Amino acid sequence: MTTEVEPLIHPEAQFQNPAPIKPQSPIPAGVHDMEISWDRNEGYMRVIIGMKKWWFKELLGKAQILGVTSKGRMNVRAIGVLTGEQLVLYRDPDAELHSKVKGISYPASYQRCCFRRNPPVGQAPDWRVRDERKTKQGDLSAIRFVGGYVGDWNIEWPAQDPVAHVFHSGPWTECAVGCFMHPKGGFAHFYES
């Protein structure tokens, strides 16, 4: 089932489809490289492993973020367990913690992570990190545009939030320009709380 998507604040912001997700087969056991993204046709978040897709309305847990794509997809490594409309990710037990990088460090907070598909004219799409607590306090420095995400992701996206974004609940560092070999400059490096 597809649904019309309405703009919220930015033209690319999308609301979740209110229809229930149809029953799905379980995600295979074990650690997988996955792609997590917003399915603009279905109106749900989705996880792709190989060529198989699953949809969800809530995302919790921990995973390694390996990188992102220019089309708004996050590449992660984790164990995935789907229960109804909730996806829980478990970090690979053999994974090492993400190394600290030099740059601007931000304390643990509730960071919104989303892809800006429709940037201002003349700019390429990019990723952003927005501190939701600072935003509620009216702090204009709450949003940072970055080349993407890597590191140890502490995931929170409750079912009550119907917008196409996910959260990192923990500290992060915006690395210096040129870090991670990205032409746009710094990446957001996420760390365990």
pLDDT at residue 170 in the model? 94
Is the domain of 83 the same as that of 113?
Answer: no
pLDDT band at 125 (very low <50, low <70, confident <90, very high): low
Q: Tell me phi and psi for residue 60, to 5 degrees.
A: -140, 160
Tell me which residue of 43, 46, 39, 45 sits closest to 5, measured CA to CA: 43
46 pairs with which residues across the strands? 37, 55
Q: Summarize pLDDT for 166-177 with one digit per residue, the tens.
A: 999 999 999 875
Is the domain of 107 the same as that of 171?
Answer: yes
Angle at 110 between CA 105 and CA 112, to 5 degrees: 95
Tell me which residue of 66, 85, 65 sits closest to 154, measured CA to CA: 65
Q: Is 14 left (phi over 0), alpha (psi -120 to 50) or beta?
A: beta
Domain count for the chain, please give it. 2
Span 6-25, average pLDDT? 71
Structure tokens at 48: 């792709």
Span 161-166, average pLDDT? 88
Tell me which residue of 170, 35, 28 sits closest to 97, measured CA to CA: 170
Mean of per-residue pLDDT scores for the chain: 86
Domain containing 83 equals: 31-90
pTM as predicted: 0.85
8-state DSSP, 121: T
**End position of a domain, from candidates 39, 69, 90:** 90
